[in-house]
Structure 1
Amino acid sequence: MLLPNLAGFAVFTCWPVVASFFLSFTKWDLLQPIQFVGLQNYMDLFSDETFIKVFWNTLYFTAVSVPIGIALSLLLAIALNQGLRGMKFYRAAYFLPVVSSMVAVAVIWQWIYNPEYGLLNFLLSLIGISGPNWLTSTTWAMPAVILTSIWKGLGFNMLIFLAGLQGIPEHYYEAAEMDGANWLQKFWRITVPLLSPTTFFVTVMAVINSFQVFDSVYLMTQGGPARSTSVMVHYIYENAFQFFRMGYASAMSYVLFFVIALITLVQFWRQKNHSFY
């Protein structure tokens, strides 16, 4: 019964991973015969100014989107963990963007960011601020993409935090109240420590997903303007399917893999040593 699934996994996952590793040591444009070049592709990466730029763009995207997204998700989960009427509706509403198509989300946010009739600039004009051309500005394009990505994934992290909050025994809070603890002390002394495993999981997944961001960049800015929003996966896509540099794209893919693996291992090591949070 497992054979069809295992066969699909082997053909469409395992084989491409092995093949791309082999291709990372070659030069191949899909038309000419494969030419073995050894480590040349990896060495070229360090002299490729575009690769260095998109690598820093990816770090920028991760450094901004991950902590803000996690903080907002936690606050939202705490708010939606209250026993008030209509909470099920609000939970579903906040989770709706997660299951929405990224194409639909991109279209909506492109309208919101429109410099002439977009909702965001209209709201800014009400308080006397002239909004920028969000998606065509080298300064504001990346923050705009980051905001969209945070909004898209907010509901998923919220749901994970909500499950973690509901797993904290209520008698801890009751005992803290009897000792005279206020809401802030209960949050820092009870909620944060007991949510550490949940926070660790959310952080690891958020970092991995942020390093692999592609769809929001591709749909909203195409990596522009002047590559200010181009990230690693987008540059890999360009080299593989627009420039047909399959070997070079494969090398970049494995560099991305090793960067993600290294960061994930560091996170696990710090969590194991009780120093992550």
Structure 2
Amino acid sequence: MDNLRKRAKRSKRNEWWLAAALLFPNLLLLVLFTYRPLIDNFRLSFFNWNISSPNSTFIGLNNYVEFFTREDTAQVLLNTLVFTFFAVVGSMVLGLLLAMLLDQKLFGRNFVRSMVFAPFVISGAAIGVAFQFVFDPNFGLVQDLLLRLGISSPQFYQDPKWALFMVTFTFVWKNLGYSFVIYLAALQGLNKDLAEAADIDGASAWTRFWKVTLPQLRPTTFFLSITVTLNSVQVFDIIHTMTRGGPLGNGTTTLVYQVYTETFSNYRAGYGATIATILFLILLTITVIQVRYMDKENKQK
């Protein structure tokens, strides 16, 4: 009996050592390339540092005070909120609709699925350059289509509202394939018996979707709400290639783009780190709220 206990303890100890050996390289990389830069960025936010200089000056909370008192902060926060909201809602709603459509037995659906997903794997910078011509108010595709309808093209590169719409639409078009693929996989794993039972009971298509399909997709929707939000808040390449944060100063400048501008254009790495820290805290808060809401929903079931 003692031999069996010793053998069990030895086996358990060996499993712990194996787990530690497998996890250590990943944890080391995570600490070096994620947590260390995060802590260093937070430290840097208390300094005034010209990125081209080896010296920095400790200024305490001055960077944070400046951020919350600057005139352009409200506009940048509003741009970030509007862009993120419509990017997330647009990507998820259109992704779900396309997934439900292409989950049916249609001719050529595999080809269409590939076409929907293809933009997601293309560089955002390349798509941004391409859509510069699509939205060009003089000879772009949008201008041509509107001209055929007798409507003049909006000035996408002069009006801040239309410029924000332009970059949001481009982001949704590029990232639609991600939500589409995730939702399509979830739809193919649904319990078909529930849908058949609702069909037998005479439920309408809308009732089946609202009462049967959508509740089963709740975990997928929760997952996408977090990942798409994180992706949209951090978008840089599309904005940089299409508008450079303009027009009229900060027309399409978001928090991430302001980090780039302050750090590499204005050479204020300390202030850029401050904005990055605030953005991190905002994303952390949103994620915690989403997770707690989902936990609450699961406990009520």
Mark yes or no: TM-score above 0.5.
yes
Instruction: Provide the rounded CA distance (Å) in 1 between the counterparts of 2:184 and 2:148.
Output: 36
- Asked whether the equivalents of residues 29 and 245 of structure 1 are also in contact (C-alpha less than 8 Å), the reply is yes
What's the offset of the Cα at 1:7?
A: 5.4
Does structure 1 residue 124 correspond to structure 2 residue 146? yes
- Asked whether the equivalents of residues 135 and 141 of structure 1 are also in contact (C-alpha less than 8 Å), the reply is yes
- The aligned counterpart of 2:253 is 230
- The aligned counterpart of 1:29 is 50
What's the offset of the Cα at 1:160?
A: 0.4
What's the offset of the Cα at 1:268?
A: 1.4
- Off by >2 Å, runs of 4+ in structure 1: 1-15
Of residues 177, 180, 192 in structure 1, which corresponds to 2:214? 192
Instruction: Provide the rounded CA distance (Å) in 2 between the counterparts of 1:100 and 1:155.
Output: 11
Deviations 1:89-142 (A, max 9, x none): 111110000001112211221111011111111111111111112123223100
Give the letter aligned to residue 52 of structure 1: A
Does structure 1 residue 20 correspond to structure 2 residue 19? no
- Asked whether the equivalents of residues 92 and 224 of structure 2 are also in contact (C-alpha less than 8 Å), the reply is yes
- Asked whether the equivalents of residues 99 and 183 of structure 2 are also in contact (C-alpha less than 8 Å), the reply is yes
- The aligned counterpart of 2:91 is 69
Give the letter aligned to residue 293 of structure 2: R
- The aligned counterpart of 1:201 is 223
- The aligned counterpart of 2:10 is none
Give the letter aligned to residue 158 of structure 1: F
Of residues 249, 257, 260 in structure 1, which corresponds to 2:280? 257
- The aligned counterpart of 1:110 is 132
Moved more, 152-161 or 8-17: 8-17
TM-score by length of 1: 0.94
Which one has a bigger Cα radius of gyration? Answer: 2
Instruction: Provide the rounded CA distance (Å) in 1 between the counterparts of 2:26 and 2:63.
Output: 34
Identity of aligned residues (%): 39
Instruction: Provide the rounded CA distance (Å) in 2 between the counterparts of 1:194 and 1:161.
Output: 11
Give the letter aligned to residue 22 of structure 1: R
What's the offset of the Cα at 1:266?
A: 1.1
Give the letter aligned to residue 211 of structure 1: V
Does structure 1 residue 39 correspond to structure 2 residue 61? yes
Does structure 1 residue 241 correspond to structure 2 residue 264? yes
- Asked whether the equivalents of residues 94 and 155 of structure 1 are also in contact (C-alpha less than 8 Å), the reply is yes
Instruction: Provide the rounded CA distance (Å) in 2 between the counterparts of 1:134 and 1:247.
Output: 33
- The aligned counterpart of 2:289 is 266
Does structure 1 residue 142 correspond to structure 2 residue 164? yes
- Asked whether the equivalents of residues 195 and 213 of structure 2 are also in contact (C-alpha less than 8 Å), the reply is no
Does structure 1 residue 178 correspond to structure 2 residue 200? yes
- Asked whether the equivalents of residues 51 and 235 of structure 1 are also in contact (C-alpha less than 8 Å), the reply is no
- The aligned counterpart of 1:56 is 78
Deviations 1:133-161 (A, max 9, x none): 21232231000110000000000000000
Instruction: Provide the rounded CA distance (Å) in 1 between the counterparts of 2:123 and 2:29.
Output: 25
SS at match of 2:69: coil
Deviations 1:198-253 (A, max 9, x none): 01111111111222121111110000002110111110101111111111111111
